[in-house]
Amino acid sequence: MKFKPQIALVGALLVSASFVTMSNGVAGAANPLAGKPCYAAGSTTIVNYIKYTCVSHTVTSIVKGKKVTTTTLTYDAGVQQAIPPTLPTGNFDTTPGGPLMWSETFTGAAGTPVDSRVWTPVTGYGTYGTGEIENNTSLPANLGLDGSGNLAITAKCIATTSPGCTATAQPSGQTWTSARIWTENKLNFQYGQLEARIWMPTGSFNWPAFWMMGQAYASNKTGTGWPYCGELDIAEGLQGNSQDQATIHSNIPGTSTDWGQGNGLTQVAPLTGSQMISGWHTYGILWKPNFIAFILDGKAWAMDTYDPTTKRVTQTVGTASISYGPGTPISSIGGNWPFNAPFFIILNNAVGGVSSPVAPNGSSGTMKINWIKYYQYAGYGAATVPTK
């Protein structure tokens, strides 16, 4: 849920004097760079999961009775690197990865509050460090069942006088209300398949999200702070709800700075804004040790994998992969992977931060959640009640 500009993966060859990783999803039958000229001795390049090193060759020969020494630079034969797994196949909505471990539906009369055994409304404003400006409440106008089988989280402008909702600089907590709920200290999830059926809200002022934080974080600030605890954004409406993004956050090794200078590792979902706000979609993850795949309407579309030996994170969208590790151009991404621990769920419909809270007085936008389901995946998955 932290601020992040859009970052899209492409299947283009990236070249660097130090190193860079490119793949097209195929290991490659040949070593295309072996023996080819290079430009800096000791530099390395990874192509099709083969790591090449630029090597200096010195040859001495006799030309017209004189000793002549020449130096050339060529790539060596290359060393095969670990090939990240391909995206899981199948429709996980119709054929889940394992047995159902927990689920929640939202049937009940309109205005019924969320189940307090599972959820805690997080109320107030100005406490998130994200730039959002809404005052989160537990009032039925902002949070509760809608009477049609859904949980409704409604962002609403409460201004009635000028400049009101049209102001570009609005006071935090005084112009907009909304809601945020989480399962912290009530229900944890570690690995498995987690999905929610959501209808994203209409309106550029909305910043809806279905996400998770590591249970190591504690809202009373006695635990592990952000980004050390890890953050996993399963679905997030950005760019005026014209695109859906999935992001993982953690800290650069030895620092308190988030990967990518605060942007995390972001992937843009194959879903247009008009599709996202005009109907139901299921957003979820397939999660096991050192591996998170993102699923949209049952199909895996992106994933992040971690190699604890090389301390590199490989991000894949479709068949294009880019690997990040210590020394890469975006601030030493890699090294810390907090996603092998329990996490808790958060649902909210923020205003501000990355949205544009400019709208007619009385404007509102509702994020609807029809159900949440949690299955095992690849034999992994446990939903637990934390011990305090």
Domain(s) labelled CATH 2.60.120.200 in the chain stretch across: 100-384
Element (H, E) at 316: strand 312-317
pLDDT tens digit at each of 388 positions of the chain: 653 333 232 222 222 222 233 333 333 346 778 999 988 888 887 776 788 899 998 888 887 778 888 888 999 998 877 666 789 999 999 999 999 999 999 999 999 999 999 999 999 998 788 899 999 999 999 999 999 999 999 999 999 888 889 888 888 889 999 999 999 999 999 999 999 999 999 988 999 999 999 999 976 666 788 899 999 999 999 887 778 999 999 988 778 888 887 788 999 999 877 899 999 999 999 999 999 999 999 999 999 999 888 888 889 998 888 888 765 555 567 778 999 999 999 999 999 988 889 999 999 999 999 999 999 999 999 999 876 5
Residue 40: CB atoms within 10 A of its CB come to 11
Going by C-alpha positions, the residue among 50, 38, 44 that lies closest to residue 16 is: 44
- Contact status, residue 31 vs residue 47, Cβ threshold 8 Å: no
- DSSP string over 149-218: S-EEEEEEE---SSSGGG-SSPPTTTSEEE-EEE-TTT-EEESEEEEEEEEPPPSTTEEEEEEEEETT--
The half-sphere exposure of 82 on its side-chain side, counting CA atoms within 13 A, is: 13
Structure-token pair, residue 290: 């050192």
Assigned CATH for 100-384: 2.60.120.200
As a three-state string, the secondary structure of 26-64 is CCCCCCCCCCCECCCCCCEEEECCEEEEEEEEEEEEEEC
Please give the model's pTM, rounded to 2 decimal places: 0.81
Three-class SS state of 288: strand
